[in-house]
Amino acid sequence: MLRTRLFLYLAPFVIILVGGGVYSIVLFARLGNTVDTSVTDSYQCFTAASAMSLALAGMDREVSWVVAGSRPGEKNNLLVYPKRNIDKRAFGENRRRFEENLDLLLKASTLPGEKPLSEQVATHFQAFLKAVNTINSLDFPENQRLVYEQEVVPNGQMINQTLEKIHDLNHQAILGTSQNIRAITRDVTRLMLTGIVIAFLISAYAGYKLSRSILRPIQLLTRASRELGEGRLDQSVPVVTRDELGELARAFNQMAAQLQEYRQSTSEKIVRLHRTMETTLASFPDPIFVLDREGRIELKNPAADGLIAGLKLAGQLPEKLQPIARNTLDSGENFLPNSFEDAVTYRLNGEDKFFLPRVLAMRGKDDALLGVAVVLYDVTRFRLVDAAKTDLVATVSHELKSPLTSVRMALHILLEKTVGVLTPKQDELLVAARNDTERLLRILNDLLDLARLEEGNAALRLEPVAPAALLAVVMQEMVDKFSDKNLNVNCVVEPDLPAVSVDRQRIDHVFSNLVSNAIKHSPANGAITLRAGMAEDDSVEFSVTDQGPGVPEEYQSRIFERFFRVPGQAKTGAGLGLSIAREITLSHGGRIGVRSAPGRGATFFVVLKNADSSTA
C-alpha cells in the first residue's frame, strides 16, 4: 500500500530527527542545570569575597583612627592625647555586612578546597573581633597601638589573603565552566551535523524513490487531466501498481471513457436544442435581441435583423432602447411597461411602427446576471384600435351631448311649471330624470375632456400661482360638502414655497376631484388633510389624505385608468375623475400617484414644477 511505502521511506529520517532532538533536549537541560548551579554559586562567592574585603577595610579604618588618636581633618595635640573609642555605628555597619556575606560564603562554598578557606576566614574574623574588643577596653594609646599591630593587622592580612584565594578559586571555576560549555557545544554541534548529513542522505534517497514511484504517476495523471480539460477526451494513464495510485489511474481512465461517451450522446442533444431555440426565435414575429453582460448583441431573430436593416443600425441595438437595456444590466431589474406611453416609434417601409419594449434579465443558477433579452412587441394595431376607440368615444359623446342638452332644458322647463301644474308623482319623476340627465352630461363632458387631453389638443393657459392660493380655492369650493359629513379639514402649507406654473381652471379640476373622492370615502366626523410642501426635485408636492378604507396595493397601478373602480366599494361613479386628473397633471409636466395601505386611508399626491424651473 502507498501508506506503508511512505512510512518505510520516511521512518529512518524521523527516527534520526527524534533521537537527535531528544538527546539535545536532555543534554541542554543538564547543561543548563549545571551552569545554573556552578556559575550561580561561584558568582555569589565571588561577590561575597569582594564585599567582605571592603567591609574588612572599613572596620580596619575605624580601628586605625582610634589607635592613631585622630580622624582625618582633626589636629593631633601631642601634649594632650586622650583615649578614643571605636565608632560603634560605622564599625557595626561594616561588621554586619561582613558577617552577612560570610554566611552566604559558607552556604555557597561548593568548589573543592573552598569550604576550608571559608572556615579560615571565619576563624581569623573572630580573632580580629577579639583584638578590636581588647583595643576598645584599653586605656592607654600605647597599649592600643601595640594590640593593633600585633593582633588586628595580622588577622586582617590573613583574612584578605584567604579572601583573595577564594576570589581566584571562583574566578577559575567560572572560566572552567565557560570552557566546559564550549566543549559540550562543540560535541553537540558535531553530533547534530552528523545527524543532519545522515538525514539528508536518507531524505535524498527517499525523495528519489518517491519521485519514481509516486511523483511520476502523478505527473502523468496531471498531464492527462490537462488534456482532458482542453477537450481531448481520448486520454488514458498506465496502471503500474495496485495501490492507491493504481486505483486513481483506473478511476481516471474510467471517467475519461464515460466523458467521451457522454459527449457523443449529448452533442446531438445540444445541436438539436440549439436548432430548436433558433427555430423558436425565428417563429416570433416581434424583434428579439439577446445581449451579453457588456451589452453586445449575442443573438437575434429574423424580425430583429429586419428592424436593424430597415433602420440601418449596423448591427447595433436601436438608440432609444440602449439606455433601457443598460439600466437593466446595471440594476438587474426587469423593465415591463404596460402603457402605450412607453412605446417607441420607428419608420419602416413608409409606415410608422409602434413597439412596446420589454427588457428581461437573464440569470444563471447562482443568480448571477448573464445578460438581458430585449423583446419589442408590435403594438401598432393596438395603438390604432385605441385611437379609434378614443375617436369613437369622443364622437359619440359629442353627438349625444346636443340632444342630452335639449332633454335637460326640457326637464328644467317642466320642473319650473311654466307649462302647467305637475302632480307630486310627476314632479318626483322629473327630478329623478333631471338628476340622471345632469349625471350623464357630466360623464359626456368628462369623456370629451379626456379625449382632448389624450390627443394633446388641450391648450393650457399657464400662469404662476402660489400653492396656498390653489388650496384656498378648493377649500372654499368644498366647504358645504365638508359640513354635510361634519369632516375636520386641516390645510398645511410649508412656508416659502415657490409658485407653480399651472392652468388654474384645469388644475382646480384636479384638486376638486381629489378632495371630492376624499370626502366620498371618508367616514362621518372623520378628518381630511390637505398639504403642500417641497419635493425632492425642487418641485412642489400637493397631497390629499383621507381616513377611508384605502386602496389595496394590487389596484394602485390601475386606479388612474379610465372607468376603473376598486372592486368591492359601494361608492358610485363613472371612474373617469382620476383619469382626467392624471391627464391634466401630465399635460402640466407633473406626476400624480397614490400612497395607501388597506384600512389606513389613502394619500393622493400631485407634483408640479415650480414657476422658475418651468420658465428655465
* Residue (of 366, 368, 342) closest to 355 by Cα position: 342
Q: What is the pLDDT of residue 193?
A: 81
Q: What is the pLDDT of residue 79?
A: 39
- Proportion of the chain in helix, strand, coil states, percent, rounded to 5: 65, 15, 25
CA-derived radius of gyration, the chain: 58
Higher pLDDT, 484 or 451: 484
CB-hemisphere CA count at 13 Å for 537? 9
Q: What is the pLDDT of residue 542?
A: 93
Rank 20-24, 405-409, 540-544, 581-585 by mean pLDDT and report only the highest. Answer: 540-544
Q: What is the pLDDT of residue 78?
A: 39
In the structure, what pLDDT confidence band is assigned to residue 32 with cuts at 50, 70 and 90? low
Joined together, the cell numbers standing for residue 13 give 529520517
Least confident of 122-126, 166-170, 540-544: 166-170
pLDDT of residue 374 exceeding 90, the answer is no
- Region 132-152 average pLDDT: 82
Least confident of 201-205, 442-446, 577-581: 442-446
- Region 444-463 average pLDDT: 64
Packed helices 244-283 and 2-68: angle between N→C axes, nearest 10 degrees: 110
Q: What is the pLDDT of residue 378?
A: 75
In the structure, what pLDDT confidence band is assigned to residue 25 with cuts at 50, 70 and 90? confident
pLDDT of residue 259 exceeding 80, the answer is no
Joined together, the cell numbers standing for residue 473 give 380655492
CB-based contacts of 110: which residues, under 8 Å, 6+ apart? 37, 38, 41
Share of the chain above pLDDT 90, in %: 4
In the structure, what pLDDT confidence band is assigned to residue 544 with cuts at 50, 70 and 90? very high
pLDDT of residue 129 exceeding 60, the answer is yes
In the structure, what pLDDT confidence band is assigned to residue 572 with cuts at 50, 70 and 90? low
Query: Measured between alpha carbons, how far is 120 from 106 in angstroms, rounded to an integer?
Result: 11
Q: What is the pLDDT of residue 545?
A: 92
pLDDT of residue 543 exceeding 90, the answer is yes
Query: Measured between alpha carbons, how far is 207 from 198 in angstroms, rounded to an integer?
Result: 14
pLDDT in tens, 302-344: 877 777 777 777 777 887 788 888 888 888 888 887 666 677 8
Least confident of 208-217, 256-265, 443-452: 443-452
Q: What is the pLDDT of residue 80?
A: 41
DSSP 527: E
- Region 361-389 average pLDDT: 72
CA angle 58, 62, 67 (to 5 degrees): 140
Contact by Cβ (8 Å): 66, 144 = yes
Rank 118-127, 321-330, 379-388, 540-549 by mean pLDDT and report only the highest. Answer: 540-549
- Region 453-482 average pLDDT: 80
Residue 540 CB burial class (10 angstroms; 0-12, 13-18, ≥19): buried
Least confident of 69-83, 311-325, 416-430, 559-573: 69-83
Q: What is the pLDDT of residue 453?
A: 57
pTM of this prediction?
A: 0.39
- Region 158-166 average pLDDT: 86
Query: Measured between alpha carbons, how far is 181 from 179 in angstroms, rounded to an integer?
Result: 5
- Region 52-67 average pLDDT: 83
Q: What is the pLDDT of residue 77?
A: 43
Q: What is the pLDDT of residue 533?
A: 92
Location of C-alpha cell 453582460: 293
In the structure, what pLDDT confidence band is assigned to residue 81 with cuts at 50, 70 and 90? very low
In the structure, what pLDDT confidence band is assigned to residue 443 with cuts at 50, 70 and 90? low
pLDDT of residue 52 exceeding 90, the answer is no
In the structure, what pLDDT confidence band is assigned to residue 567 with cuts at 50, 70 and 90? low
Query: Measured between alpha carbons, how far is 478 from 483 in angstroms, rounded to an integer?
Result: 9
Cα 152 to Cα 117, 155, 159: the distances in Å are 19, 5, 11
DSSP 459: -
pLDDT of residue 147 exceeding 60, the answer is yes
Higher pLDDT, 368 or 238: 368
Q: What is the pLDDT of residue 439?
A: 66
In the structure, what pLDDT confidence band is assigned to residue 606 with cuts at 50, 70 and 90? very high
Cα 72 to Cα 75, 80, 84, 396: the distances in Å are 9, 18, 14, 142
CB-hemisphere CA count at 13 Å for 180? 14
In the structure, what pLDDT confidence band is assigned to residue 442 with cuts at 50, 70 and 90? low
